[in-house]
Structure 1
């Protein structure tokens, strides 16, 4: 399936992005793929939690304390544990450290920097940052390796079928999903790091912000969020098929076998 087939019939209010990177010493020439329809940048939801965990380790001397919060932030996407890292290290420090390590510059959200999921990103930036994480792990960075291992433990419920779409059961995956009260859309994002061997890296990202305007559905959604109940099934209903098709198409364009 071609990107044009996936984007042609989108609602005009929808925003969709996909990006992929394949690179590494000893492999074929580096290749990148990206496509965008709608907004240039989207709120990241929980997509960056593994990156936050990675750079925060150097700022928290108590390794056990770091692990106690970083692992659930990645594996089960715990907001409380992510917030502990985000606020104890500091949003600006975490994002500055990410810029130093990956070359990707992100800004704290306007108004309330404590909202880690409101950092605005583009899919190609996310792919670039995760490629650095993957290659750091391959080169022996123990924290990067631990974080990628945790991404490999993310459940299928929170992976939105990414591993199946990519035909890569061992892929390290992290998703972000949220519909804020000030938005008339649901944001559903996925990043997957593909196992390639050596210091080679393959990363695929899909991001969507799709219309979610029915008043009753929004009320039920907000009630579930406020009660701490799962809303992944609703995100999969709205965006799952498109996310999987975007990732599969990006994989094909990258030439992954």
Structure 2
């Protein structure tokens, strides 16, 4: 499925929805670097938890106590722990983390306005996310132990927190991180995913899908917010609202890259 597939997906979006997808395949040797990017609706979306592995990666160099870093970084990636992510985010500082990411990846992100402690409110575009994760993957190949550890943790993400993306990409060994949230002041549920596919050598293939789907039923929103407030899982609601679209965006991106999953 190529560009026609993207056209079909974006044409069928609900009014008020946003969707983005991006992919990168690059590395020394082999075919030339290739990238693809498409978006409809908002140019940038709040990242939810999509960047947690990147935060874990760069904070390793700013926390001298390796055991402390691992104690918080691993659950931040593997089970998407907000508490542990916040520990890293505040201990190192959002500006330091985002500046370090810029130095490593060339991608510029800024702390959220109003309350910089809200790590999930950084606004990003799918092509930026793909670029940053490609840098993470290639750093791991080049011998960066923190990058390699984070990628291994991404391969351990499982269950509802993958939204079926490994199956959609036919890539059971892919490193996955998804982000999902619907803030009380927002009329959409945001559901995002990134997959780092194993390629071998110095090559990296990254696929990203991002969605913001309308969620305007007041009763459903109240139930959703109550579950969030009680710390209960809400992945099933995101799957119902955005799961099929997210998977099709990512599968279409992989096909557009001319790649086949391992």
- TM-superposition CA deviations, 1:78-115 (whole Å, max 9, x none): 00000000000000000000000000010000000000
State the partner residue of 2:42.
Answer: 39
Task: Name the TM-score, length of structure 1 as normaliser.
Answer: 0.99
State the partner residue of 1:139.
Answer: 142
Note the C-alpha offset of 1:157. 1.1
State the partner residue of 2:151.
Answer: 148
Distance 1:46 1:27 in 2: 33
What secondary structure does 2:21 align onto?
strand
Note the C-alpha offset of 1:227. 0.4
Residues 1:209 and 2:207 are matched in the alignment: no
Report 1:62-141 matches (<5 A): 62-141=65-144
What secondary structure does 1:187 align onto?
strand
Note the C-alpha offset of 1:156. 2.5
What secondary structure does 1:213 align onto?
coil
Distance 1:11 1:209 in 2: 10
Note the C-alpha offset of 1:4. 0.6
Distance 2:13 2:103 in 1: 37
Matched residue count = 257
What secondary structure does 1:4 align onto?
helix
State the partner residue of 2:224.
Answer: 221
Note the C-alpha offset of 1:12. 2.2
Cα RMSD (Å) of the superposition? 0.5
State the partner residue of 1:174.
Answer: 177
What secondary structure does 1:74 align onto?
helix
What secondary structure does 2:42 align onto?
coil
Segments ≥4 residues shifted beyond 2 Å: none
Distance 1:151 1:225 in 2: 24
Distance 1:156 1:6 in 2: 25
What secondary structure does 2:156 align onto?
coil
Note the C-alpha offset of 1:240. 0.2
Distance 2:100 2:150 in 1: 16
Which runs of 5 or more residues in structure 1 are unaligned?
Answer: none
Residues 1:248 and 2:239 are matched in the alignment: no
